[in-house]
């Protein structure tokens, strides 16, 4: 058991859309490494694709965004706020992610302001790169929604 909080303690996301199962490294306000364990029982595998289940790339990018959110929301400056996607740049997919695999999600925050931020992320399986992307997000007050 790690000394890090469960992702649900920092992110407002809940199953089935909480895609980070555990935090394995965390430097508040700087970076986060999280894991997403894919059992194969997830509903999206049934339709993506029948006979050849593959994790949708958009969900990999969302998992990276959630990991960046963990890095941001773990800092006092952004605690209790809500990071919302502002953009995705340079997303590249290098390998398929299959049922039963665990995805290692690494996100590093870049330039941050009180209202917005940037992050880079990499997702891998057994140290083999599956996806990398640059992300932008707006930082909203949770009560503004």
Query: Do 106 and 33 contact (CB within 8 A), yes or no?
Result: yes
The active-site residue, picked from 6, 13, 37, 48, is 48
Buried b (16+ CB within 10 A) or exposed e, 96-125: ebeeebebbbbbbbeebeeeebbbbbbbbb
Nearest by Cα to 128 from 103, 92, 100: 103
Query: Do 67 and 33 contact (CB within 8 A), yes or no?
Result: yes
Q: Which residues contact 15 (CB under 8 A, 6 or more apart)?
A: none
- Is 48 annotated in the active site? yes
- DSSP 3-state assignment of 33? strand
* Paired strand residues for 23: 34
**CA-derived radius of gyration, the chain:** 15
- Supply the residues annotated as catalytic: 48
């Amino acid at each position: 058991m790690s000394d890090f909080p469960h992702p649900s303690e920092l992110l407002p996301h809940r199953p089935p859309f909480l895609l980070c199962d555990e935090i394995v490294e965390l430097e508040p306000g700087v970076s986060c490494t999280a894991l997403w364990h894919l059992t194969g029982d997830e509903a999206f595998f049934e339709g993506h694709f029948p006979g050849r289940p593959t994790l949708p790339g958009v969900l990999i990018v969302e998992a990276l965004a959630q990991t960046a959110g963990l890095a941001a929301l773990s800092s006092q400056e952004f605690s209790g706020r809500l990071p919302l996607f502002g953009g995705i740049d340079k997303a590249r997919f290098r390998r398929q992610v299959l049922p039963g695999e665990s995805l290692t999600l690494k996100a590093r925050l870049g330039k941050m302001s009180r209202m917005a931020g940037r992050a880079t992320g990499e997702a891998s399986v057994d140290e083999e790169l599956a996806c990398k992307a640059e992300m932008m997000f707006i930082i909203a007050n949770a009560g503004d929604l």
